[in-house]
Chain A
Amino acid sequence: MLFFIYLQQAPAETTKYMIAGYAVIFMIIFLYLVSMYIRFRNMKRAYKMFMDLDTDTE
């Protein structure tokens, strides 16, 4: 494969791999950002709930 790539005049046609590569990069980073946002939101809810419980018991 590599041998044929070096023999050719024009660059190899590898656009679909580039698209796949960047799709994976953007998707994983985006999913991580979403997961961080959801966890932060849930933790804020939990914090508020415990604070409310504390004030109720006092």
Chain B
Amino acid sequence: MIPKPRLLIGLDFVTAFLFVVAVVMVFFYAPLEAVMGQVQRVFYFHVSTAWVGMLGFLVAAIAGIVYLTKGEEKWDIVGVAAIEISLVFFFVAIISGSIWARPIWNTWWTWDPRLTTAAIVELIYAAYMMLRQGIEDPDRRARFGAVYAILGFLSVPLTFISIRLLRTIHPVVVGGGNPTAAGGFDMSSKMLQTFFFSLFAFSVLFIDLLWHRIRLGTLAHKVEQLRMKDID
């Protein structure tokens, strides 16, 4: 079994440090928003988790393309790893968004285009994880996973552009200006710094988690091979 690489250990420490700095910036550096108050601070991690979600779905789609081109098992492991992490972070984004919405929109949930498409994305990838479990043959499972990850990714840009194209109450904070949105705000320079630092910290967290999850997937693959060998 391959020991934990030193670079990964270093990345763990860097990630933990960046995460702590992001938390400190959110609570002690970013100013209080004038209208919404404290709940606006949810925004920094809400967007960052959504970003990690979308990034992972993109990585999975790319891994799917590479798997179909090269047929190497490792790309299937990368795809599953990316989707699992993204599912968790996208779920966090949906729940934190719902909590943010309660005092601002006066509701936990509304079938707004952004919320609806985000829920659809989450369900599409949750189905991916469940359907994979039902396929015994590893090659078929990997092929199915690759095609599903590529097709499933079509829902991600739709979610991203939904608030820019459709009439929605979800604010577009960066490059926005939707007059029908509720809860939008102009960011001060300190808010912008906190926002971009959070995005950066979560991107590094994603790389770190992806590496760990790939190691777990590789080990699971080896165990599966040993189990098959023992059955034979």
A interface with B by C-beta (< 8 Å)? 1-2, 5-6, 11-15, 17-18, 20-22, 24-25, 28-29, 32, 36, 39-40, 43-44, 46-47, 50-51, 53-54
Contact B100 A25 (CB under 8 A): no
Q: By the criterion CB–CB under 8 Å, are B216 and A36 in contact?
A: yes
Q: Which residues of A contact B88 (CB under 8 A)?
A: 28-29, 32
B92 within 8 A of A: yes
B8 within 8 A of A: no
Cβ contacts A to B, 11 pairs, < 8 Å: A6-B35, A12-B35, A17-B99, A17-B102, A21-B42, A21-B99, A25-B49, A40-B215, A43-B223, A44-B219, A51-B226
In the complex, per-residue mask of B30-41: 1 if CB is within 8 Å of any chain A CB, else 0: 001111111111
How big is chain B's contact interface, by range?
Answer: 35 or more
Query: Please, how many angstroms separate the alpha-carbon atoms of A11 and B223 in the complex?
Result: 56
B131 on the interface (CB 8 Å rule)? no
Q: Which residues of A contact B46 (CB under 8 A)?
A: 21
Residue in A closest to B216 when the chains form the complex, CB atoms: A40
Could you tell me the distance in whole angstroms from the C-beta of A51 to the nearest C-beta in chain B?
7
Extra inter-chain contacts (7) besides given A21-B39, A22-B42, A29-B92, CB under 8 Å: A11-B33, A12-B35, A14-B40, A17-B102, A18-B40, A50-B227, A54-B229
CB-based contact B45/A2 at 8 Å: no
Q: Is there a chain A Cβ closer than 8 Å to B103's Cβ? A: yes
